[in-house]
Amino acid sequence: AQSVTQLGSHVSVSEGALVLLRCNYSSSVPPYLFWYVQYPNQGLQLLLKYTSAATLVKGINGFEAEFKKSETSFHLTKPSAHMSDAAEYFCAVTHQGAGNMLTFGGGTRLMVKP
Amino acid sequence: NAGVTQTPKFRILKIGQSMTLQCAQDMNHNYMYWYRQDPGMGLKLIYYSVGAGITDKGEVPNGYNVSRSTTEDFPLRLELAAPSQTSVYFCASKPGFGATNTEAFFGQGTRLTVV
């Protein structure tokens, strides 16, 4: 069974600073991994996804993530934080069986200080 | 293009009441899901469906029921509401068969409070 762990339920950065949100996965098969963002009182929106085509994946709003099999990680980064990046971020892995459902990490709330 | 539409957006229920959360998608997706979101817990799968007439339990199905009579609609039924069902509920969909590497599309959520 697949699982996802997000280290740090809250991360605070200053505007213009590097954003690093951590995600580690557990999977017995090559995983399909996703990062979603949730703005207040909104649904989840896809930021980016890893589907084995390339280990460095670029997403929307300047975010990117690197798949590292040796570390079972898929950390999300952005070089320079903007106030509008304040949101909750979820890492997820697809169940590769009946239903193809997503299994989510606990989420990381990103706060951006002016 | 509406995507995934959930109604209502907010609801307050009294203990023991019942209600149905509605979910509709217009993307002709075969797979549909119901998740609940609790603070610090991420999203937990309640039920899912791989097509009309086919449903199955997820991680936290107790206290809920679903049906899937059409491709478009996937309502979630709460019988005998309990305070533990206070949560934000999300419906999602994705294309079927062979869609392991595709993303799921989410509705805006229903915030339910049971008092």
Instruction: Label residue B39 by pLDDT band (50, 70, 90).
Output: confident
Angle at B83 between CA A99 and CA A88, to 5 degrees: 55
Q: Output the six-digit token pair for B69.
A: 């009579």
Question: What is the pLDDT averaged over residues A63-77?
Answer: 95
Pairing of β A10-14 and β A108-113: parallel
Instruction: Label residue B53 by pLDDT band (50, 70, 90).
Output: very high
pLDDT at A97 over 80: no
Task: Give the pLDDT confidence score for residue B96 in this predicted structure.
Answer: 76
CA dist., res. B110 & res. B36, Å (int): 9
Q: Residue A9: its chain B contacts at CB < 8 A?
A: 40
pLDDT at B29 over 90: yes
Does A43 contact chain B (CB < 8 Å)? Answer: yes
Task: Give the pLDDT confidence score for residue B56 in this predicted structure.
Answer: 96
Question: What is the pLDDT averaged over residues A104-112?
Answer: 96
**B67, B52 contact by CB (below 8 A):** no
pLDDT at B8 over 80: yes
Query: Nearest by CB to B100, which of A6, A32, A107?
Result: A32
Percentage of residues of chain A with pLDDT beyond 70: 100
Query: Nearest by CB to A51, which of B35, B92, B101?
Result: B101
Task: Give the pLDDT confidence score for residue B86 in this predicted structure.
Answer: 97
Query: Nearest by CB to A44, which of B56, B100, B106?
Result: B106
Task: Give the pLDDT confidence score for residue A71 in this predicted structure.
Answer: 93
pLDDT at A44 over 90: yes
Instruction: Label residue A94 by pLDDT band (50, 70, 90).
Output: confident
Question: What is the pLDDT averaged over residues A82-92?
Answer: 96
Question: What is the pLDDT averaged over residues A98-113?
Answer: 92
Cβ neighbors of B94 (< 8 A, separation 6 or more) are A100, B29, B31, B102, B103, B104, B105
Q: How far is A9 from chain B (nearest CA, A)?
A: 7
Question: What is the pLDDT averaged over residues B32-57?
Answer: 94
Task: Give the pLDDT confidence score for residue A96 in this predicted structure.
Answer: 77
pLDDT at B102 over 90: no
Q: Of A35 and A99, which is predicted with more confidence? A: A35
Task: Give the pLDDT confidence score for residue B98 in this predicted structure.
Answer: 67
- The per-residue pLDDT for range B66-91, each reduced to its tens digit, is 999 999 999 999 999 999 999 999 99
Minimal-distance CA residue of chain B relative to A38 = B108
Instruction: Label residue B1 by pLDDT band (50, 70, 90).
Output: low
